[in-house]
Amino acid sequence: MKAVLRQALQHRSAKPVAWFLCSLPLVWLVWGAANEALGANPAEYLIRATGDWTLRLLCVTLAVTPLRMMLGWPELLKLRRTFGVYTYFYVLMHLLCYSWLDMSFEWNDIAHDIAKRPFILVGFGAFVLLTPLALTSFNRAIRWLGAKRWQWLHRLVYLVAVLAVLHFFWMRAGKSNFTEVFVYASVLFVLFAWRVVHSSVWLQLSRSVGLTR
């Protein structure tokens, strides 16, 4: 099974397939909105669904490097940019649905809402921090910034993840429904812990005290 999966990742169609799969939620949402299949409150459904897919793809994006190293599949790396770009796409859709369907593009009301409600402020902060990561996700940006500065900039994704989960937590707090929040927080905690354990600083410290070779 692993051999089959790796062969699939090595195939030239792997990236187009990833793009196609990432676009399916949007296709479903557009179809559902056009056919009145999104429940009694389609506006709320669209806002929540685009936010959910943002979180899911953010987790997938952050999981690429750990999976690549644990499985020994460097082919996974070529899909990380796709997942990252779609993460930003869905957060744009989330913001668009909120601004359009909930606030009717009343910019003064939107600014007041962001300043008044902490969970929206945190979510908007995550969007702002994610924007430069999306804008510099291409090879030309890496050459322009230099590899080290590019890596430091893109470590902001972990702060974005924390803010995204906090946004989700505060949003669900009104209904005391934290099951999904716990799932996302647990996934991100595991990914963060892996990153800390495998960071160069940790490895150097471990070698100095004889924990690793």
Does residue 135 lie in a domain region?
A: yes
**How many C-beta neighbours within 10 Å does residue 174 have?**
8
Question: In this structure, what token pair is assigned to residue 118?
Answer: 């902490």
CA pair distance 27, 65, nearest whole angstrom: 28
The dihedrals phi and psi of 199, each to the nearest 5 degrees, come to -70, 155
- CATH code assigned at 79: 1.20.120
Higher pLDDT, 41 or 4: 41
- In whole angstroms, give the CA distance from residue 77 to residue 86: 15
Count of structural domains within the chain: 1
Tell me, what's the pLDDT at 212? 43
Mean pLDDT of 163-177: 87
Residue type at 79 in one-letter notation = L
pTM value > 0.85: yes
- Sorting pLDDT into bands at 50, 70 and 90, what band is 204? low
* Interatomic CA distance for residues 71 and 5, integer angstroms: 11
In the numeric block, which tokens belong to residue 177? 């429904």
- Is there a domain that residue 86 lies in? yes
Q: 90-122: per-residue pLDDT in tens? A: 999 999 999 999 999 999 999 999 999 999 999
Confidence of residue 200 (pLDDT cuts 50, 70, 90): low
213 inside domain: no
> What residues make up the domain containing 16?
2-105+114-208
